[in-house]
Amino acid sequence: MSGFRPVLTEYIQEKDCHTLSFYRSIGGYTALEKVLKLDPIDVTLEVKNSNLRGRGGAGFPTGLKWGFLPKDTKKPKYLINNADESEPGTFKDRLLMNKAPHQMLEGMIIAAYAIGCHTSFIYIRGEFYKESKILEQVLSEAYENNILGENILGSDYHLDVVIHRGAGAYICGEETGLIESLEGKRGWPRIKPPFPAIEGYLQSPTIVNNVETLSCLPHIINRGAIWFNSIGPEKGPGPRLFCVSGRVNNPGVFEEPMGISLEDLIFDRAGGITDNKQLKAVFPGGSSSAILTADEALDVNMDFEELVEKKSMLGSAGVIVMDETVDMVQACLNIARFYAHESCGQCTPCREGTAWLVKMLTRLVAGGGKPSDIDMIFEITDNIGGLIDFSKGSFGKTICPFGEAVAWPVRSFVEKFRNEFIEYLPQERIVA
């Protein structure tokens, strides 16, 4: 698609692009000025009309999520910026925090104003130490310049933003696990209902939005919902940061319209496969999405609906590319090991099942496999993640979607590269 100019990452090559003075020089905080004169309901409506869908992984419509907040509550409302970017193959939020932190902050203030929140949190992944320092700098600049605190930009709106560094658990990126962690508890996802919009942080109505989602907001306000809808497919429009990694010549973050073809992403933006090898498989949306074979990958656009049709998902748009040299059994074990390590251990199927998968795959790789193991992997993944029937949407046997996050990719490896698993089975010997 020609003529697309990056929206969120337009200025990230510029010097000092993370500073307030730079951000102001490119029209930063004008959206906020505009918003502060609007009725919060109209701000929410504009976001709803933009059809912005969450960029964290689940793709839930942002305006709809805000609409779940109770209308008449005496409790405070909270906005949490989910900056716990931990999905393997995903590194877009880090870029935004490094290079365009004021854009994210402006988005946060707009969202907070729209939902009537006066205390907001940035829950940032513990490993993002450098980014947390940048954000501290950004917040103090904002407070000094009346962008945060009392009477923001001369209005009667006030907002405080607090940075909270996570302690390094994948599951704390799940919104209720994040809230528990923010409350100082163990990062165990909560059972729903109640949803965070009704009872979240400190039992109060809470909205959790991703860094990239929030970063879109100033642009939606400035250029309007109609403009936003004009980018990419109807059911999930807007610009999107695609992270391409793995066996490609030019890995990195590429801002493209939603719906760009995966082929363009891999072979054009990311410069094709290293050493002119053959493409073998791709994770289209982080390591918790089901992998696509080369054929499938070359025939799909990166949009929510199309990937669901392919029984995978857009997820966090973390594209991990595997070439012909990749051993799919080892790769599968690697993924299983990651998820077993990160399982919070609360729900029975996930705690026990992930470890079972690792033990079985480890044995298989070590040469101790049995023919029945291969079908057993299907049984185990189905028992963790539910019978995956996209037509009925019937999946999920655990409190949070982590169960699916391990079941889908592991299952897809076996489903699509069964022969490689069979090759790992020891050759049958005739015992005389």
Nearest to 170 by CA among 332, 287, 344: 344
Q: Which is nearer to another protein, 113 or 188 (CB)?
A: 188
User: Left (φ > 0), alpha (ψ -120 to 50) or beta: where does 102 sit?
Assistant: alpha
CA distance 138 to 140: 6
Give strand ranges (E) for 156-298: 160-165, 206-210, 239-246, 252-257, 279-283, 292-293
What is the per-residue binding string for another protein in 397-416, x denoting contact by CB under 8 A?
xxx-----------------
Would you tell me the crossing angle of helices 211-229 and 92-99 to the nearest 10 degrees?
Answer: 90
Candidate ranges 45-53, 214-222, 343-351, 421-429; the one touching another protein (CB under 8 A):
343-351
CA distance 339 to 341: 5
What is the per-residue binding string for another protein in 352-391, x denoting contact by CB under 8 A?
xxxxx--xx--x------x-----x--x---x--x-----
- Of the residues 287, 288, 346, 412, which one makes contact with another protein according to CB under 8 A: 346
Q: How far is the CB of 346 from another protein (least distance, A)?
A: 4
Peptide bond into 194 cis (omega under 30): yes
User: Hey, what amino acid is at 177?
Assistant: G
Half-sphere exposure of 354 (CA within 13 A, CB side): 27
What is the per-residue binding string for another protein in 297-336, x denoting contact by CB under 8 A?
----------------------------------------
Binding status of residue 337 toward another protein by CB under 8 A: no
Cβ–Cβ under 8 Å, residues 254 and 269: yes
Q: How far is the CB of 366 from another protein (least distance, A)?
A: 12
- Of the residues 169, 258, 273, 377, which one makes contact with another protein according to CB under 8 A: 169
User: Tokens in use for 28?
Assistant: 């930063």
Candidate ranges 25-33, 272-280, 351-359, 418-426; the one touching another protein (CB under 8 A):
351-359
Binding status of residue 154 toward another protein by CB under 8 A: no
Q: Collapsing DSSP states into helix, strand and coil, what is residue 324? A: coil
Q: Which is nearer to another protein, 142 or 406 (CB)?
A: 406
Q: How far is the CB of 342 from another protein (least distance, A)?
A: 7
Cα 344 to Cα 171, 183, 297, 348: the distances in Å are 7, 17, 32, 10
Binding status of residue 173 toward another protein by CB under 8 A: no
- Of the residues 1, 162, 167, 191, which one makes contact with another protein according to CB under 8 A: 191
Binding status of residue 342 toward another protein by CB under 8 A: yes
* Pairing state between β 252-257 and 318-323: unpaired
Helices (H), 269-370: 294-297, 304-309, 328-342, 348-363
Binding status of residue 193 toward another protein by CB under 8 A: yes
Binding status of residue 425 toward another protein by CB under 8 A: no
Binding status of residue 393 toward another protein by CB under 8 A: yes
- Interface size with another protein, residues (CB under 8 A): 37
Interface residues toward another protein, by CB under 8 A: 169, 186, 188, 191, 193, 340-349, 351-356, 359-360, 363, 370, 376, 379, 383, 386, 392-399
